[in-house]
Structure 1
């Protein structure tokens, strides 16, 4: 502690923090020296702020943990169990199981104007169809037709197109595989007719490769490609939507 001084009969002490001289009654003596009231108040504010920050960090961490847990699984549509990253098709609801190997795949009508081009929509419709198949004891399972998109002038999928095809293939491979699949390749209207014919074929082949790797016999897959010859049949808002392959059960 700094040496005491006196001024007008008031004992002055220098604060060991801010080095300001104050009356000895305006502070406290700590092991580290004399601390004035102003410095003591600052220290308390720092502790309070630090505590609040700590609570905020804990709250944020808890919220992130909850969000992460909810994103991994979700409630199934129409009570068909949980929908995970890759939906398990041999599901049970109310202790009633469905064995897809006893089902013959079928397809709902293919819409050229609003085909399913993303994984979440496919899972949604498929889960509803599975539930219907269980309730009516049908020997068929409607697998919705899908239409993954491709990059311009390539046979590379865009978005979750490849995952969509794999999910479709996995679903069909779990059935009795008696049905046939129709794979149709399309392009937009840019470029020559010869180039687009080759491009639509290459896109159809990319899909076929995924289907066969999933265990679907090649003789069950019918291939067609049209280049840009069917461009006028569609009413999409952007040319990127014309670069697609349609996959359906015949």
Structure 2
């Protein structure tokens, strides 16, 4: 069964994203450190922030806004309620700054999409803050190359089934490429399609998952530029 529709993740698949979160998290650690109990370590702060993000993602969703609110919650918790308003204001400012960072395409992102455009239906499937994702897509210069764009609240098998049916011939004839095993690969395979992992050096802790190495519709590539050759190989199979 030939592939008709190809989905691409956005953040850390087509353009850099996680590095801005990590830079902001490092700044957060600096400003909150003087207000943490004596002897508290940086690892403790990281664990508390990840725990807050894990709790809050179902309420605030994915993206900068949820991350900023989780930093504020963590600052109040680790300081035992003594964090000054000025520090909270600085954390808010850091979050707003993240919403203006420039879009920096990953190597081979444009060339790969251009190589596949016209041969397949191309779809961007991303999650996060709606306005921020629309901004990044507009600034990326890639928008006109996609036949469809889906900004979803979460990436689950039923979501992939719906969007690949809406914009293609169903998930069974679809392929999803992305840097997250948990969000881009595993649920797409569970929906019946191909899941292609494009690893990125920086991946958010909540996106880690074991690779489905033995599944016949799983593949891992060194970079996005290898995707057209993989698709040709898949379609050459009897």
Would you say same fold, with TM above 0.5?
A: no
Higher relative contact order (CA 8 A, sep 6+): 2
Task: Give the greater-gyration-radius structure (CA).
Answer: 1
